[in-house]
Amino acid sequence: MEDLRKQEESCQQRIIKAKENLAAAEAELENLPPYEPPKDELDNLKAQILELEVSANNKRNRKSEKERLLGQKKMSLRNCLDRLKDMENTHNKCLQALMKFGAERISEAYHWLQDHHNEFNKAVYGHVLLEVNVSDRVHANYLEGHVPYYIWKVRRR
């Protein structure tokens, strides 16, 4: 019986202690200030997110613009390289024509000039062949009289 009474007292003490703790917690809850969401901080974060999105869009636009310009420059480079190859082929054709008309070592001279252009004091422009278009026949005859025949490749129109 005594054990039961001790258990009963112990239970009562625990209940009283729990009620005291509950009352203290309720009092503390009443004393807490009301919860207000941090509007200023949320507004600042929203503004930062918006700024970052705008910045990312600007960077994407700049990147795509630069990629487009790079594509254009690559296309221009390709076109220039193609034109350069065509010009080289034209040079070779002209050299062959000169060799055929009597300047046997012209190709050797042209290649020597290309290999040694840095040894000259001033710039040397290595076009071995010059095309002259003259509309007046009198002027054409005058030029032909002052330049050796093997240099001319006459093309009549």
Which tokens is 75 given? 């296309």
Q: How far apart are CA 38 and CA 42, in angstroms?
A: 6
Q: How far apart are CA 55 and CA 47, in angstroms?
A: 12
Of 95, 92, 114, the C-alpha closest to 105 is 95
The domain locations on the chain are 40-151
pTM for this structure? 0.39
CA distances from 106 to 103, 120, 152, 154 (A): 6, 19, 14, 18
User: Each residue of 94-125: pLDDT tens digit?
Assistant: 777 777 776 777 778 877 887 888 888 887 76
User: Each residue of 37-93: pLDDT tens digit?
Assistant: 889 999 999 999 999 999 999 999 999 999 999 999 999 999 999 888 877 777 777
